[in-house]
Each structure stands twice: as C-alpha cells, then as structure tokens.
Amino acid sequence: MNIRTVAISSIFFLLSGYLQGQSADGKIYTKADTLRGSITPERAWWNLLHYNLQLRPDIRQKTLQGNVEIRFRAVRAGRFMQVDLQQPLIIDSVTFAVSATKTRLLAFKRDSNVAIIDYGKILLSGKESAIRIYYHGTPREAVRPPWDGGVSWKKDADGAPFVATSCQGLGASSWWPCKDHQADEPDAGMLISIRVPDTLTAVSNGRLKKQMQHADRTRTWVWEVKSPINNYGVSMNIGKYSLIQDQFKGASGLLSLDYYVLQPGKDSVLQQLKQVKPMLQCFEHWFGPYPFYKDGYKLVEVPYLGMEHQSNVAYGNRFKNGYLGKDLSGTGWGLKWDFIIIHESGHEWFGNNITSRDIADMWIHEGFTNYSETLFTEWLDGKQAGNEYNFGSRKNIQNDRPVIAPYQVQATGSGDMYYKASSMIHSIRMAMNNDEIFRAMLRAMNRKYWHGMVSTSDLEQFMPFYTGFSVKGIFDQYLRGVQVPVLEYYLSYQNDKLVYRWVNTVEGFDLPLRIPAGADTIRIRPRPNQWQELPLKPGQAEVLQLKDLNKYFYIQTLEKKEMVIKMN
C-alpha cells in the first residue's frame, strides 16, 4: 500500500460514519462497537512495542491523573492513529518527542471512546516512534466486579483504602489510554508507575523495579513487565498489603512467588497459599512451563472475587476452598481446592500466554482454563474424580446462544464458554483415548502460540495433527450452535449387531466414541442421520456401557427398538 492510499483511506475513515447494522445474532451493533472491536485503518498500520504508564490516583475523589507513553513501529506507512480512552476520562494533550529536549503537540479528535490522533506527517514503514498522552478524570466505577468492572474504590476491614481494577470485556481504556484490542500486545512489555500515600502499597504486574519516596508523603511504586501483556491483564491494586515471599522449583528454573495479602499471619491465608505449588506442578505438567518466569508469579488480594491479571493474579475468594465455599460442580470434588487460585492461575497459560485475537473467541481463554479445573481435580484425586467433576459442572450449561460471538464488534458469546467449552474439550480428549498425545497437544499449543494470539480457525487447523480427526464439525456443534448431540442406537434381536447414528447435530459433526464393553473397548464413528452397523462378538451386547457414555462425552443417548425403526 503506498503512502497516498494510506492517507486517503485514513481520511475516508475519519469522514465516514458507520451505520448501525444487525448481525447474525440479532443484536444491533453501532459505530462505537466497530471502532472498539475491529482493526480499523487507524490501528492497522502500527505495532505496539512498549507502554510506560504513570498514574496518580486520588482515592478520596475517586479520580485518576496520569500519562502513558506508547512506543510503536510502523508496519506500513501511516499518519492517523486510533487510541482508546473511555468517557468520562479526558485527554489533556498528546505529544511526541521531536528531539531529546523538544516535544511537539499533536492534534486529535475524540469520537465517543476513541481518539483519532494526527501524527502530523506520514510515518514510513519500519520507523519507530513514541507518543505520550496526558489525561485525567473520573474512571468508571465498578458495579459488579469483575463481570461489570471498572475501578473498585473500597475500604478494608480496618477502614483503610482498598482499591483495585477489573476490566475484562469492558476494556483497559476504561482507566488508561491504550490500543484497546486483543490482537496487539506490546512486544517489549510495560512499565507501570503508581503514586499513592506512603502508608499504602501499590501493586501491579511484573516485578517491582523501584520505589520513590516523595516529600509530600507519597511514594511511587514502579513495576516492570518484560513480556508482552494483554491490555485487560494490566492492573492497579492499592492497599495496606503485607508481602509473603516464596519460590517454586519449576520447569524453567526458580520462579518467585509473591503474595500481597491484608492479613499475612492468618491461618486460613497460609493454608490456602500452600495450593499454589501443586497447582504450578500440575499445570506445568499439562501445559508446559509457566509462561512468565521473567515477571514472576504474584497473588494479590482484591475487594472482589478474582481476575487473571497477568503475573499478578487477583484474589478475593476469602481464603476458602471452592467458589466462595461452594462447589460449582455439585460433586464434592470442587471443595478440595480454592477455585480462584486454580482457575485464575490457569489463565496464565490460556488468556495471558495464548490470547484470542478477537474477544468473540473468548472460549479459548475460558474453556481451556475451565478444563484446567478438571485436570487439577484429577491431579489430586485421580482420573475418575476429574471425570465426575467435569460431568457435574455441566449442570451450569444453558445452551442459550452460541459460544462464539460475531467478530469485530467487541462482542462476547454465551457464558457457556466456560462449562460447555470445557465439556467439549473433555469429549475430544475421551475420543482421542491417549492422554500422552492430548498432553502433547496442550503443550505444543502453548509453544506454538507462545506470548501470541490465536483464533478458533487457527485451532481448527492445529488440533487435528494430534486428535487424528477434524474438530471443525465439533466446534460448529458446540461453539457455533446450541444443540446437544444425541446418539440413537439399538441392538439387533440376536444381539449380534449394534446399530447407531447421530441426530440433533450439525452437518459435518464427527466425534468418535469409545464404548466400554467388559474387558474390551469398542470404537465407533457415528454419522449424522445415517444408520450404521457394528458386528458384536458373542456376549458383548450384554456388557456394552452405552447409557454411561454421556458421563464422559457431552452427548445424550437414546435407545431405540429395532421393530420401531423398521416400521418407520
């Protein structure tokens, strides 16, 4: 693309307005949704290299004042840049460094939650530069974090400030200016500086680089992230924290374990923290090395349930096992471990290491992470315990709408991205019937997409090398549809044949099944709406465990009668 084309396309984008349109899911999406959810021309031409975020929150007034330097490289020639900052936050100015001692103001135009910045000249492909955005205002206050997030301005039990951010879905631009799309992460990481009263501690991602004491009895805490980081994984946490430190001897050496908690000596706190090392052992076994050895592992207490903030896991499960003391599977196995420690840490591999390019594919984050709960249950109490936990969790599936949402409009699909996607992954594992290959697939996935982005279509191409069968029809069934597959079957009068087929499935659904039959296992590969026959050995019909298949595969089974089938 030549410079003239870039300039013309950018000007056209600025002057044209998006019309409201109705997508396949029936929802009306607006221009603002497209600006937020798509790779616009003003986003496409530059690649993030590094953020340097400097913040000074006013806890009493619930306001923020700060600036962020955005360092970037032009991957093609461009001039107009889209940067996101949600209202009512205000951009004061935008500058770039002309020289070591001189800066220049840049013009910008606000369009709802977006700023279109005029770089002032065409920046040629391959060139690196940086802009700095100064801003202030009252950020959105969290309503029901982390699901309806923002900034939580709370107090701890002693009345001291207890502040935390949560912005998955809502977007990091709800509290700082950024390129707020999951498809681009800063290649060289980030610096986060937070200035607070010196009676408090400010905790963010990565490692503590330094502290700076100021004459006005404030202190700046400077945190450095060396790995690429997704925007919603960036966090600000402020409180009267105490630090507990430990180390884990892991697959890539010594991993620092830092726990920022309010009551460090409390028995329940110390007891729960013991679960971190077994969790890391389990997940490194199944998924590969912890992805952020350079940045360490932190667990920080927050005034809401929890979130997967990269290298800085937000924890608010009240130091209890289960989900606030409850077992979401209803099996009892979920009370053997702390839901937030296990689930949110699982996101370090799926969500933080591997990030979906579009939020429409959030099942990649939540489905595999939800499945990490099954794997940890199995790690502690054996494979049958894991099977039972996964089966019990299916009661939470709604089948209300597709798991994959429309792309490029900042839309998320059904909450079934957790339990249904996890059940689908378990079904694929059961169909493979080889845990070593299944494990190799998960580890290879984390290597191939290491600190990178992925889409559903990427996994449709990647997984069959390990599964031995296509997953496209399986994804269509479970992620793009709402029907539960039904295996219809009957046994012949002589008990010498099993006759079977899929119904209630999409075209192309292909999930191999393995049926226990006494000392044997029978493998079948049903086809949608097409009867197939399998000869049986003498006595095999009596020991076929067909009715229990739904405990291992997310399907329903329906026994038919041969006479009825033939009459119809």
pLDDT tens digits along 144-161: 999 999 999 999 999 999
* Whether pLDDT at 7 is above 90: no
3-state secondary structure of 147: coil
Q: How far apart are CA 512 and CA 533, in angstroms?
A: 15
pLDDT band at 25 (very low <50, low <70, confident <90, very high): low
Query: How far is it, in rounded angstroms, from Cα 285 to Cα 476?
Result: 30
Distance CA 300, CA 152 (A): 14
Q: What is the mean predicted confidence (pLDDT) over 453-471?
A: 98
Token code pair at residue 53: 């975020």
Number of other residues whose CB lies within 10 A of the CB of residue 358: 24
The predicted-structure confidence for 509-568, as pLDDT tens digits, reads as follows 999 999 999 888 999 999 999 999 999 999 999 999 998 999 999 999 999 987 555 545
Residue 20 has pLDDT above 90, yes or no: no
Q: Which residues pair with 559 in a beta bridge?
A: 489
* Distance (Å, whole) CA 94 – CA 107: 7
Q: Would strands 297-301 and 253-261 be described as parallel, antiparallel, or unpaired? A: parallel
Select from 493, 490, 364 the least CA-distant residue to 422.
Answer: 364
How is residue 235 written in tokens? 């966090």
Tokens of 11: 């000007």
| Cα–Cα distance for residue pair 194/192, rounded to 1 Å | 7
pLDDT of the residue at 23: 58
Domains of the chain: 1-9+35-239 (2.60.40.1730), 486-567 (2.60.40)
Task: Decide if pLDDT at 245 tops 60.
Answer: yes
pLDDT at 4 over 50: no
pLDDT tens figures, 395-443: 999 999 999 999 999 999 999 999 999 999 999 999 999 999 999 999 9
Q: Is 308's pLDDT higher than 70?
A: yes
Q: Kindly report the three-state secondary structure assignment for every residue of 206-243.
A: CEEEEEEECCCCEEEEEEEECCCCCHHHCCCEEECCEE
Give the single-character DSSP code of 546.
Answer: -
CB 298 within 8 A of CB 221: no
Half-sphere exposure of 441 (CA within 13 A, CB side): 20
Reduced to 3 states (helix: H, G, I; strand: E, B; else coil), residue 31 is helix
Kind plus residue range of the DSSP H or E element containing 44: helix 41-44
Q: What mean pLDDT is predicted for residues 268-287? A: 98
DSSP annotation string for 273-330: HTTHHHHHHHHHHHH-S-TTTTT-EEEEE-SSSEE--TTSEEE-STT-SBBTTB-TTS
User: Is the pLDDT confidence value at 89 over 70?
Assistant: yes
Residue with tokens 């009668």: 561
